[in-house]
Amino acid sequence: MKNFRIHQILTTLIESDAFIKTKDIARQLDVSSRTIFNDIDSRQMERTLHGATIERRPNVGLRLIATPEQKRKISYEIFNHTHTMSHRIETDDIAIIIDELLRNHKPVSIDDLSQRVYRSNITALLDATQVYVEKHHCKLVRKPYRGITIEGNESDKRSVLRSLLLQNLRYDDVSANQNGRVPYSFMQLLVQTYSQQWIDSLLHIIERSETNMGLKYTDYDVAVLLTKLAILVERSVGKHAIQEKTLINEKPQEYYIAMMIKDSISDSFYLELTSGEIYEIMNYLMVTRKKENSDLVIHNQISLEVVDKFIKLVGTYLNFDLHHDSELANNLLNHLRPAIRRIKFGVSSENPLLDRIKFEYTHVYIAVMTSIEFIENTEHVVFDANEIGYICLHIAAALNRGTQSRYVRGILICDDGLSIEGYVKSKIEQKFTEIDVQSTIQYSSYNHDFIEGFDLIINATNRAIIGDKVVNISVALTREDITAINAALFTFELRRTMLIKDTLKNHIYIFNESLTDRDAILKKYSGYLEIDNYVSSHFFESMMLREKSSPTAMGRGVAVPHGSRSHVYSSIVLVIKLEKEIIWNDQLVDIIFLTAISTKTDDNYNLFFRKLFTIISDDDMINRIRITNDPNEIEAILLD
């Protein structure tokens, strides 16, 4: 509620250069003037202001003092929050602005736009609109004495329109839909936006394309494809055509189906579509997910062995036993084969859930992002953020099915025969999900050399054994025995933590930085790593290639840039706290975890990176790092 008030206060102030009475703002929000002053003095307000200030003048009111850049950042954050919380009013106004600008071939005046949204001042709204279109590689351009227009290539402009419509389509709507393949509420939106005749004609064309391909599209993707084709028709009617062709050496099956769809649209809507639209439709079809891939010619045959190694690596970072999940392996295999095929044809998939995945499954996203290089090198492709997001959904589903990895290697010493041994082993593993009893021996076989590779020695014989790793219990596994094992696990964790701290203390460095350009920051610190022989001279280049394909801003003001493992000599993490937030792709970032992960990373590093990924997913932990300037405290947060 407080965040909502702060955003409402700033929205009111940012739209006026004059003072506004505090009591008027309080009345608008149905709170007291004292509450408004408390909100203005809060740390949340300080963070949201991005260096701007609120001037207070007794008996006059409040006024925002901010540079144009600060206003843009404030508007960006307000919009981001509004969009995330699904408050539709602001988003609908942005949709109206975008629709008006894209329908016109000439710039539109600010007065005309103000009348369309019934607002006298639309400065903040235009700033938020600018942020929205920039996500799709377009620009909101203000032309003096002429008005405002959106510039960008036609394909990107259509992407903006798609995004506005598809934010109203939800996965759960599709799964709950009983009467058709497109959910009723979304179908009504499309009919209101276009017409019943248009939508019916396009649905018929889509169903014919399924027949020609010998497969069925997923229900969700039918709605997406319908939206894309409706926008294509609308833009073509308005003489906004795609002229450029995609140069490909081999025409896939989707190319010929796209030709049929083009001809069907031309006949149904009396349009003369350009040849460039064939390639646009082909791209639509290639990213449309199918219920069955058996009839689709896929030359790529990524092996199950490669997928298994990738799953094992991700599971190591997440501390989950994913390796034995056959459903995950099968699902990933079925997803990756067409995905790699799309990438090799240069077709990029859209993922409407990407922002949610990054925020809600941050640790999963980072684990996949830092492990995907294994598949990329094997298949000679580069996965973008959208594809990584889809892989994360498969991993997240497996986490919901699976159990936490048993990372404590145990050995049981028991002299009471196979039946009792089996019972005690099963009870220990049932009670303690972190313990993996890897071997069972008799007391006569016990020796120090044999048990060297184990973390915990569980002695269930009548003869006590003294040792750092030993816990003595009875075969009855009493309450006292459970307490003893818990104490032994605590000692193990403490010992492991101290070992990690000693090992990693010289491999974590903390910096404060005043630079405000992302590329300059990354170049500076990768240069430091190269000088100290942590990475090769190619590390920076590989890091920038990763940023280009899948930007590493994770939300919460955090970015996790990293380069190729093949250019890392020794693992290291740089924690870089920025004095001022910077724009990183389409997010604001003030904490950078620059990670260099070697191919020779041992268990201690894997454990640390596992914890680091968890910290990055935790709002409280990140805020603790954000508010402190004490390097020792940051180190303690990361290592303790």
Whether 94 is covered by a domain: the verdict is: no
Rg (C-alpha) for the chain, rounded Å, is 29
pLDDT band at 609 (very low <50, low <70, confident <90, very high): confident
pLDDT tens-place string over residues 102-152: 988 889 999 889 888 888 788 888 888 888 898 888 999 988 888 999 999
Residues 273 and 308 in one domain: no
* The predicted structure's pLDDT at residue 612: 78
CB 93 within 8 A of CB 126: no
Which of the four pLDDT bands, split at 50, 70 and 90, describes residue 405? low
Whichever domain contains 62, its CATH number is: 1.10.10.10
Let me know whether 552 and 593 are in one domain: yes
477 or 84, greater pLDDT: 477
What 3-state DSSP class applies to 150?
A: strand
Is 208 a domain residue? Answer: yes
CA–CA separation, 228 and 247 (whole Å): 22
Residue 632 confidence class, pLDDT cut points 50, 70, 90? confident
Mean pLDDT of 14-42: 86
Mind spelling out the 3-state secondary structure of 60-126? CEEEEECCHHHHHHHHHHHHHHHHHCCCHHHHHHHHHHHHHHHHCCCCECHHHHHHHHCCCCCHHHH
Burial pattern 456-470, b for ≥16 Cβ within 10 A else e, equals bbbbbbeeeeeeebb
Which amino acid is residue 271, in one-letter code? L
Q: Provide the residue type at 299 as one letter.
A: H
The total of structural domains in the chain comes to: 5
Q: What is the CATH number of the domain that holds 350?
A: 1.10.1790.10
For range 20-30, the mean pLDDT: 88
Q: Which of 374, 401, 428 marks a domain boundary?
A: 401
Tell me, yes or no, whether 95 lies in a domain.
no
CA–CA gap between residue 52 and residue 12 (Å, rounded): 15
Q: Give the three-class secondary structure for 39.
A: helix
Give the pLDDT mean for 31-51: 84
How confident is the model over 150-195, as pLDDT tens digits?
999 999 999 999 988 988 887 655 555 555 788 888 888 899 888 8
294 in a structural domain = no
The residues that bridge with 54 in the sheet, in sequence order, are 64
**Which residue in this structure is represented by tokens 């924690």?**
575
Most confident of 49-58, 116-125, 248-257, 534-543: 534-543
Strand partners, 459: 413, 472
CATH of the domain at 567: 3.40.930.10
**Is the separation of the CB atoms in 278 and 254 below 8 Å?**
no
Same domain, 251 and 222: yes
Residues of the domain holding 310: 304-401
The pLDDT of residue 345 is 79
Q: pLDDT over 90 for what percent of the chain?
A: 17
Residues 535 and 630 both lie in one domain: yes
pLDDT at 334: 83
**560 and 457 fall within a common domain:** no
Give the DSSP per-residue string, 567-620: GBSS-EEEEEEEEEEEEETTEEEEEEEEEE--TT--HHHHHHHHHHHHHHT-HH
Tell me which DSSP letter residue 266 carries: H
Do 179 and 227 fall within a single domain?
yes
Residue 151 falls inside a structural domain: no
- Inform me whether the pLDDT recorded for 292 exceeds 60: no
Asked whether residue 470 falls in the same domain as residue 560, the answer is no
Residues 594-600, mean pLDDT to the nearest whole number: 83
Decide if 608 is inside a domain: yes
- List C-alpha distances in Å: 283 to 226, 286, 288, 302, 502: 14, 5, 9, 22, 52
Q: What is the pLDDT of residues 347-383, one digit of tens each?
A: 777 787 787 788 888 888 998 988 898 898 888 888 9
Task: Select from 354, 383, 401 the last residue of a domain.
Answer: 401
Between 141 and 91, whose confidence is greater?
A: 141
Per-residue pLDDT, 88: 38
Residue 393 pLDDT class (50, 70, 90 cuts)? confident
Strands in 197-249 per DSSP E = none
One domain, residues 254 and 309: no
With a cut of 80, say whether residue 407 has pLDDT above it: no
Token output for 576 = 């870089």
Same domain, residue pair 476 and 527: no
Residues 392, 413 within the same domain: no
The answer to the question of residue 115 being in a domain is: no
Per the CB < 8 A criterion, the answer to whether 302 and 309 are in contact is: no
Question: What integer best gives the mean pLDDT of the chain?
Answer: 83
pLDDT of residue 297: 47
Residue 202 has pLDDT above 90, yes or no: yes
Is residue 309 scored above 50 in pLDDT?
yes
Position 13 pLDDT exceeds 70: yes
pLDDT in tens, 582-596: 888 877 888 899 988
| Res 151: pLDDT | 94
Residue 103 inside a domain? The answer is no
Q: 458 and 376 in one domain?
A: no
Query: How far apart are the C-alpha atoms of 304 and 87, rounded to whole Å?
Result: 44
Q: pLDDT tens-digit profile of 440-453? A: 888 888 877 667 77
**pLDDT tier at 539 (50, 70, 90 boundaries)?**
very high
Last residue of a domain, one of 362, 379, 401: 401
- pLDDT, residue 85, reads 35
Confidence band, pLDDT 50/70/90 cuts, at residue 467: confident
**pLDDT of the residue at 497:** 63
Tell me how far CA of residue 612 lies from CA of 157, 173, 516, 637, in angstroms.
Answer: 38, 35, 24, 10
Residues 635 and 520 in one domain: yes
- How confident is the model at residue 502, as a pLDDT? 59
Query: Mean pLDDT across the stretch 545-573?
Result: 88
Look-up: residue for tokens 């006024």?
Answer: 63
